[in-house]
Amino acid sequence: MQNAHLRLGLLEYHRITEKTSTRIRVRVSSYIGEDEQAHLIGVFGNDSDIGAITAAVHEKAYFTLTFPDGAVKEIVLGEHASCYRGSVTLPGRKHPVRHLITISEQLHANGSAGRTILCRKNADEVWAWLSNFLGLPAVPDWAEHICGVLEAEGRFQALDGIGCEPVLVTVTAEEMLTWISTALQSGVIAFPEENGPVKWPKHHLFETLHQIRDKDEQ
């Protein structure tokens, strides 16, 4: 994790009242956003900073987000955002670091209205999620072809991200079934030769994070 600080963002909250002016700054370890709409923010800091950011989220406040490359954007989580707080104990540090994950209402309803947000555009993971959520008949071997169709149809939209490479997939179950049917009829994909349960490859979060980190370091 050398030079990890170079992959972190900065979240600022500035509040001005008649008597006081407050500016809170915390480091951002993860972020997914679409224009000014933030879908996920992961930050860490001390007790008071994290408490202030949590309160600001519930107040539907706007934040200033600075990306690792220096780009700056105003963002907001909006109505009914959820906050999840935790602590991280570090060797040699007397007090634990406080960690906060905030999730937008839209991300909580991920997959509804034909919109699905994923942390990266990996064919196996995209296909596993879509087939499971949409209830599609599927086998892992179809991943490359189906994602190729999604790409050709312009159904992938890159989103802003820190610590990940998020993508928005826009597709309905009816569209997917049509594409699957067409591919089966043309022989591009095929059903398994033998009956039995379909075994999907396992994807561990630890491996995913390592792959993203290794790509950042290249």
pLDDT of residue 189: 93
Sign of the CA dihedral 157, 8, 81, 19?
negative
In the numeric block, which tokens belong to residue 15? 């509040």
pLDDT of residue 214: 53
Phi-psi region of 201 (alpha: psi -120 to 50; beta: other; left: phi over 0): beta
Is residue 205 classed as helix, strand or coil in its secondary structure? helix
pLDDT of residue 3: 61
Encode pLDDT of 35-76 as tens digits: 999 999 999 999 999 999 999 999 999 999 999 999 999 999
- Report CA-CA distances (Å) from 51 to 24, 44, 65, 180: 10, 11, 18, 49
In the numeric block, which tokens belong to residue 177? 């079934």
Alpha helices in 59-187, H assignment, sequence order: 105-108, 123-134, 143-152, 173-186
* Cβ neighbours of residue 63 closer than 8 Å, sequence gap 6 or more: 11, 12, 13, 38, 41, 56, 74, 75, 76
Cα 117 to Cα 115: distance, rounded to the nearest angstrom:
7
In the numeric block, which tokens belong to residue 106? 């839209």
Tell me the pLDDT band of 212, cut-offs 50, 70 and 90: very low
Which H/E stretch holds residue 9? strand 9-16
Exposed e or buried b for every residue in 141-151, given b needs 16+ CB within 10 A? ebbebbbebbe
User: By mean pLDDT, which of 113-127, 135-149, 175-189 is the weakest?
Assistant: 113-127
State yes or no: pLDDT of 27 exceeds 90.
yes
| Stretch 79-100: mean pLDDT | 89
* Cβ neighbours of residue 189 closer than 8 Å, sequence gap 6 or more: 141, 142, 145, 180, 183
CA angle 35/37/43 to nearest 5° reads 110
Cα 158 to Cα 18: distance, rounded to the nearest angstrom:
41
Cα 30 to Cα 22: distance, rounded to the nearest angstrom:
24
